[in-house]
Amino acid sequence: MSPESQRLIRDSWAALQPIGDQVVATFYERLFASSPEVAKLFHAEKMAEQRRKFAAMLSEIVRVLDRPELLVGEVAESGRRHVAYGVRERDYDDVGAALIWTLEHSLGDQFTPELRAAWREAYTLLAAVMRRASVV
């Protein structure tokens, strides 16, 4: 991932921080609407805690984008945990689509083609690491 892509991701994530919980709630709403079977993996009464965890995880991933030795280790561990939660291979595509849709929806005109490409590249890398870790 290029330094410019990393910068674009960091800047856009920073811009969303003031409305972070709303962004993450929108992500889950979109994910559950497009993939109702994924909603069954979550406890409705624990969604506030789940939103906090997801936002913290994304913040950490964004923070270490330029440090692959940290990024891969953290993301691989997350992939191993997600197997125990019941996450399936195809769920990664649904999550990626919901994430990109949410970012576009939340950032509006600021979500440029370059920013879309940067986030897609980052998510593709993360999902590949998680998928690989889930079968090892």
Reported pTM: 0.90
| pLDDT score of 89 | 82
pLDDT tens for residues 34-81? 999 999 988 888 899 999 999 998 999 899 999 988 877 778 888 777
Q: What is d(CA 52, CA 117) in angstroms, rounded to the nearest whole number?
A: 26
Burial 65-91 (b: 16+ CB within 10 A, else e): beeeeebbebbbebbeebeeeebeeeb
pLDDT at 136: 56
User: 16-41: per-residue pLDDT in tens?
Assistant: 999 999 999 999 999 999 999 999 98
For the chain, give every domain's residue range: 3-135
For 3-135, the fitting CATH number among 3.40.50.1820, 1.10.10.10, 3.30.930.10, 1.10.490.10 is 1.10.490.10
The proportion of the chain whose per-residue pLDDT surpasses 90, expressed as a percent, equals: 63
Task: Kindly report the number of other CB atoms within 10 A of residue 63's CB atom.
Answer: 13
In this prediction, residue 55 carries a pLDDT of: 94
The token pair that represents 54 in the structure block: 């997801």
pLDDT mean across residues, the chain: 91
Averaged pLDDT, 104-117: 98
